[in-house]
Amino acid sequence: MKTSIPNNRTFAYLNWKQVDALPRESTLLVLPTAAIEQHGHHLPLATDTLINNLLLGHALAKLPAEMPIYALPPVHYGKSNEHIGFPGTLSVSATTFMAVVRDVGASLAKANFKKLVLYNTHGGNTSLVDVMARDLRAEFGLRTFTLHGSGGISFEGLDPQERAYGFHAGEVETSFLLAGIPEVVDQSAYTANYIADITRPELLLPENAPATFAWLTRDIAESGVLGDPHLASAEKGERWLEEAATRLAAALQAMARYSDRQGS
């Protein structure tokens, strides 16, 4: 699979003697978590993993050379049962996902590493990542951080309906891949579907509300798309990629410098 992670930031390219020489107190290790799942007719199954790699790789390239920050191999498979029924979706259970993250954390703790970032780019993993960050802290004493998506950038120019309900394979994800790996985007196969309409607010919403309903993609979209890719462009993707990489790099530096004594 294509990678944007710089070679000098790739943990798995080190040998064990090089790993043993890393400073345990200051080294920050980043575990990417994503998914292999359907992304409509126009994007590949690996979309979430490719975007994770793209954003993280560009962020790592912005870091000061002396900072010991490395990307671990990603957890490619995620909790993707919202996309069951679509060929190609490879979903693991919440139990399996959390067990894998726990065991990776256990291995790092046994090697006396102190800091771990869980960097997630798949919505179905979000709650599990938050749980595991706390559990790894409690069980192994790891200073564990979470980082999600694009780091909270504003996505200037994003359509308001897309901002609210462009959950999957819409303008943002398509723009990122048009900017980074355009050959995997089939621009002739765009479809659009939304789970809700911002002009018709309801009491029950799909996400981010006091009252929500559980949903499966097949309930809403035959094509598998939850959003509208028609407004996507490489220019938007390049701009958002640069903004996200800058924000993520700043977050990683803050995590690397974080000390438990800050809470004293």
pLDDT of 264 above 50: no
**What pLDDT score does 259 carry?**
85
Tell me the two tokens of residue 259: 């000390």
For the stretch 47-93, pLDDT in tens is: 999 999 999 999 999 999 999 999 999 999 999 999 999 999 999 99
pTM summary value: 0.96
Query: CA dist 114 to 15, 130, 135, 260, Å?
Result: 19, 18, 14, 11
Q: Report the distance separating Cα 183 and Cα 177, nearest Å.
A: 9
Query: What structural domains and CATH numbers belong to the chain?
Result: 8-258 (3.40.50.10310)
Tell me the two tokens of residue 124: 């179905």
Q: Which helix (H) or strand (E) holds 118?
A: strand 115-120
For the stretch 145-177, pLDDT in tens is: 999 999 999 999 999 999 999 999 999 999 999
